Amino acid sequence: MRNLTSSRWIKVKGLIFLFLGLFASTLLIVEHPNAKTAALLAVSIWSFCRFYYFAFYVIEHYVDSGYRFSGLGSFLVYLARRSGRSDRR
């Protein structure tokens, strides 16, 4: 698969992700309209966003400067390879 390089299509892709997230969240809240569901959904979204930031930014800039993020799949491979080694910094 080729890399997406068109800034226009990158923006369209981002808007599609935003729409899908809002649509799915709205359907979930409509199906279960209570504060607990809304709070758990908000915490879940926030936590996944922080994990994504951790996976690509924190590891690359603070843990292993040789690591280059290219997706969550590459991050899982990175973790699997690192789990066999002890971190002695």
pLDDT at 85 (0 to 100): 66
pLDDT at 28 (0 to 100): 96
- pLDDT, tens digit, for every residue of 52-62? 888 888 888 88
State the Cα–Cα distance between residues 36 and 9, nearest whole angstrom.
Answer: 37
Please give the model's pTM, rounded to 2 decimal places. Answer: 0.66
State the Cα–Cα distance between residues 1 and 73, nearest whole angstrom.
Answer: 15
- pLDDT, tens digit, for every residue of 4-55? 888 999 999 999 999 999 999 999 999 999 999 999 999 999 999 998 888 8
